[in-house]
Amino acid sequence: MIERMANGHAPASAAESLLRLYDERVEIEGFQKAVPRWCAGCGDNAVLAALQRLLRDEGLRPEKTVFVSGIGCSSRLPHYMNTYGFHGIHGRALPVAEGVRLARPDLHVFVNTGDGDCFSIGAAHWIHAIRYNMKMVVMVHDNQIYGLTKKQASPTSPANTVSNTTPRGSRLEAMNPLTVTLGVQNVSFVAQAADWIPEVLYDIVQAAFHHDGLAFVRIIQRCPEWMPSLLDPWLHDPGRVQLLHHENALSISPSLKMLYRNTLEHDPSDIHRAREVASSIDPLPIGILYHDPSVPRHDQILRENVVHSAESVRRLLDAEFDKFAVGARAGSA
C-alpha cells in the first residue's frame, strides 16, 4: 500500500527528487553568500552582480560551479559566491583552475584575479594558461594598483603613479595586457569590459561563458580608495569610450548608443585588427576584440589519451593500495 503524504500525494522517489532539484531554478539569492567587504564604489561589486545574474540566467547549479582566485581585493570573490570556491595563493589561481578543469571536466570554472596577482607574480601562469586554452572564464579585475596591500604600483599602473613602492612616481609606461595576450600562441578569446557599463560587462561575461576555450576578460574597474580619480576622464566623457560591435560579437542597444556614440564595427575573427584596436588607450575599446572557437584545447587533447574504464580505475587503485599494504611480521602467530 502506497503511503500518502498530508497533501494527498505519494512521496517522491529519490530519482524524482533529484530530477526536481535540477529542474528548480536558482535565483540570484541562491548564489549570494556573505556580505561583500569591498569599499563602496569599488568595481568588484559590479563584477559580482554580473556573475550572479549570469549563473541565474544560464541555469547553472551551485554544486556544478567553482570560482578560483589568487590574492587581492578581486580574489575575495569566491567568499561571496554560494558555489564551490578556492581562494589560492598569490598569482597561482590559473594553475589551480587548470587542475580543476582536468580533474572535474563537468564543472563550470571561473577565475577571478587582479592586475598585480595575474600580471606580476602570476605572469608566467597567465601566458601559459592562454596557450593551453582550457575551457574557463578568466576575469582580471584591473584597477591599476595593488589595493588589498594598500597602494603599491602594479604592472598596469600609469607612468608617474605615486605609490608606496614608487614615492617619486613610477618610471615605466603601463603594460597593456590585451596586446600581450593577443601575442600568445593559441589565444582564442580576448575582451575588455568596464565596471561602469554593466550592460556590456554582462554581455561580455555571458559570451565568455559560452566560448569553448579560455576566455580572457580584462575588466577596467574603479578603485575609490587608492585611485579615486584615475578613470574620471572616461567616466565623464563617454566619447572617450569606444564600444565594439559586430554581427559575430556583441550588439549595442539603442539606449546605450544614445550615451556612447563612439562605436566601431570590429570583426573579432581578425587578430591583426584586434591587436591594433587593443593598443588604443584613448579612446578605450570596450567589447570583444578577438574570438576563434577553432583553437585546440589542451584539456581535450590530454583527455583523448586517457581511459577511465572500471578496470583501469580498479587497477590504479590496487596499485596505490599495494604501496601501503600491511602484512604479518615474520615469526608472528
- Cα separation of 9 and 56, whole Å? 30
Q: How far apart are CA 223 and CA 230, in angstroms?
A: 8
- Tell me the backbone φ, ψ of residue 310, rounded to 5 degrees: -60, -40
Q: Within 13 A of 321's CA, how many CA atoms are on the CB side?
A: 6
- CA dihedral 58→62→66→70, nearest 10 degrees, is 110
Radius of gyration of the chain (CA): 24
Residue 158 has which C-alpha cell? 600609469
Q: How far apart are CA 91 and CA 205, in angstroms?
A: 22
Q: How far apart are CA 99 and CA 177, in angstroms?
A: 24
CATH superfamily of 24-295: Thiamin diphosphate (ThDP)-binding fold, Pyr/PP domains (3.40.50.970)
3-state secondary structure of 79: helix
Which DSSP letter does residue 246 get?
-
Give pLDDT tens digits along the chain (333 positions). Answer: 334 444 555 555 666 555 555 567 899 888 999 899 999 999 999 999 999 999 999 999 999 999 999 999 999 999 999 999 999 999 999 999 999 999 999 999 999 999 999 999 999 999 999 999 999 999 999 999 999 889 999 999 999 999 999 999 999 999 999 999 999 999 999 999 999 999 999 999 999 999 999 999 999 999 999 999 999 999 999 999 999 999 999 999 999 999 999 999 999 999 999 999 999 999 999 999 999 999 999 999 887 766 566 777 788 888 888 888 666 666 555
Beta strands in the chain (DSSP E): 65-69, 84-87, 108-114, 136-142, 189-194, 214-220, 241-245, 263-265, 284-291
Q: In terms of Cα–Cα distance, which of 151, 216, 135, 206 is closest to 177?
A: 216
- What is the rounded CA–CA span in Å between residue 77 and residue 81? 7
Q: Which of 155, 154, 73, 66 is nearest to 110 (CA)?
A: 66
- Cell 564543472 sits at which residue? 107
Total length of the chain: 333
Q: Which one, of 110, 260, 283, 246, lies nearest residue 199 by Cα?
A: 260
List the domain boundaries for the chain. Answer: 24-295
Please give the pLDDT value at position 1.
36
Q: Measuring CA to CA, how many Å separate 244 from each of 55, 257, 269, 278? A: 25, 11, 13, 11
